[in-house]
Amino acid sequence: MKRYTVLIFLLLGHTSFAQFSLEALIGTSLNMSIHRQYVSQINGPNFIAETHLAGGGLEVGFGGRLGFNDQLSFGLGLAYQYKGHEGNYIKSAYKNRTNSKYWFHLLVLPIDAQYTLPNQIGLHVGMEIATILAPWFNNTFLFYQNKAMAAALTGISYTKGRFRVELFYKHYFTPYMRQTIYLNNSNNDPVEFSDYNRFHDIQLRIAVRLFSLN
């Protein structure tokens, strides 16, 4: 029991010296997508490959950060994110061969821990949860698979005054679309078409500290 009491007092002691900051977040990103696609021989080649070209994105939102001892801090954000990119077919199973254009509207919840070195370089590790807010587009086609996705993130930052410049890599483990269509709508039938897509992004973001509470 004494151990737990000491631990509680230590946590309260650290919390009493913590600093809470409210931040404005704005960023851009290099959006990439892992894409696998398979089509049966009835409609042409049994495999088609689509290269997803790197796209652009924009993110705006707010975040809170709880800091300890000017070195360790934990951040939680809530932001709107726009993504867009293009896919270029190398092989096609269809007669009408056109590039695919994808665009998305997402709500993202980034969570990270930051350790700041004496030179104001920060090392970050954390996760991000995202959900698609509206049907996403492939050219003029709408897709309604709106579900929560989880990603791991890591990166570095540099802090100068009220500003912090961050560079993150985010690797999503949950696909934003996965579908399989069978020839006769049965799992025992040959696959007619399958599609699998998930994100992995490089993001440049600026955090502006609006105010702090000790």
Residue 188: phi and psi, rounded to 5, are -85, -10
CA distance 210 to 62: 10
Q: 115 with 123: CB under 8 angstroms?
A: yes
Provide CATH code, domain 20-213.
Answer: 2.40.160.20
Q: In this structure, how many other beta carbons lie within 10 angstroms of the beta carbon of residue 46? A: 13
From first to last of its 214 residues, the chain has per-residue pLDDT tens of 556 555 444 444 555 567 889 999 999 888 777 766 666 656 555 555 566 667 788 999 999 999 988 889 999 999 999 988 776 665 554 555 666 777 888 999 999 999 999 999 999 999 999 998 877 766 666 666 667 899 999 999 999 999 999 999 999 988 887 777 777 766 666 666 677 778 888 999 999 999 888 7
Task: Tell me the domain boundaries of the chain.
Answer: 20-213
Q: What is the pLDDT of residue 112?
A: 97
CA distance 8 to 2: 10
Question: Whole-prediction pTM value?
Answer: 0.77
DSSP for 12-70, please give it.
Answer: HHHHHT-EEEEEEEEEEEEEEEEEEEEE-GGGS-SB--EEE--EEEEEEEEEEEEEETT
CA distance 104 to 198: 12
Encoded tokens for 85 = 């990119």
